[in-house]
Structure 1
Amino acid sequence: MRKNSIKNTRINGEVQRELSMLINREIKDPRINPLTSVVAVEVAPDLKHAKVYISVLGDEESQKNTLAGLRSAAPFMRGQLAKSINLRNTPELTFIMDQSIEYGVNMSKLIHDVNKDLSNNEELKEDSE
């Protein structure tokens, strides 16, 4: 099975959906930020490992606490995945902080600032002429 096969893509989506539900509804760890979302899941073709990319809305301390809480809850989530998804192997979960959303927001802000500066410079040129 290739890494990006249709079957693997479907498994990735199903695991992502189940983990999102588990994190938001089942896990009661106070370290986990309520604004935690599962951005993507990459399940290995042999179904033994899964990289779970998460995004947390909050400061760096909140992100670290959430990551620690999720890592401690990983065995529980793996057991719940085994019950809800019928797979040959239930993958071992590795949580990775995804900074792409934050990066995108920062880039949008920078672009907005540059555009504002350019429009201010054009107004100054027109006023001086």
Structure 2
Amino acid sequence: MLRSGDGPGLKKPAKTGPSQRQLRVAEEIRHVLSGIFARGEFRDPDLATSNITVTEVRIGPDLKRATAFFSRLGRSDGEALVPALVRATPYLRGQVAKALRLRVAPDLTFTPDQALDYAMKIEELMHRPEIVRDLRKE
């Protein structure tokens, strides 16, 4: 029996990441959102002409809040699309609710995905002459 050092009772193991259910629901939400963006089912001109890719969805343990990370193909100005996505959130949440059988449709938050920009910056740094010189074995 595991005991914590500061009082009686069992010590609970630390959570290391999302549960299998969180991962499954998040992936389903990503799939639904990706389909909507691929079909371009928007009246908003800012969204109708944008090629948006949903790269990842993270959902809370209670399945009530989800953060969708998106990127805009060919551009790194994802921050400019956030207001349009906020306007479209009720529609998107309704579509997610229709597609998933959950007690409560999660609140959606949209965040630009900076991973590709970060990877390109690291790649650029790795090709700088002084870095290449230091990495070469002599």
What is the TM-score when the length of structure 2 is the normalising length? 0.73
CA 1:106 to 1:82, structure 2 compared with 1: closer, same or farther past 3 Å?
Answer: same
Root-mean-square deviation over aligned CA pairs = 2.5
- 2:8 corresponds in structure 1 to none
Greater than 6 Å deviation, 4+ residue runs: none
- Unpaired segments ≥5 residues, structure 1: 119-129
Report the CA distance between 1:23 and its aligned residue. Answer: 1.9
Structure having the higher helix fraction is: 1
Distance, in Å, in 2 between the alignment partners of 1:98 and 1:20 is 14
List per-residue Cα deviations over 1:32-69 (Å, max 9, x = no partner). 36332111111112121111111224253xx2331111
List per-residue Cα deviations over 1:62-103 (Å, max 9, x = no partner). x23311111110000000111111111100101111211111
The question of whether the paired residues in 2 share the 8 Å contact of 1:54 and 1:96 is answered with yes
Question: Which residue, 16, 29, 43 being the options, matches 1:15?
Answer: 29
Greater RCO, 1 or 2 (C-alpha within 8 Å, sep 6+): 1
The aligned length equals 117
- Unpaired segments ≥5 residues, structure 2: 1-14, 134-138
Letter of the structure 1 residue corresponding to residue 79 of structure 2: K
What is the TM-score when the length of structure 1 is the normalising length? 0.77
Distance, in Å, in 2 between the alignment partners of 1:81 and 1:68 is 19
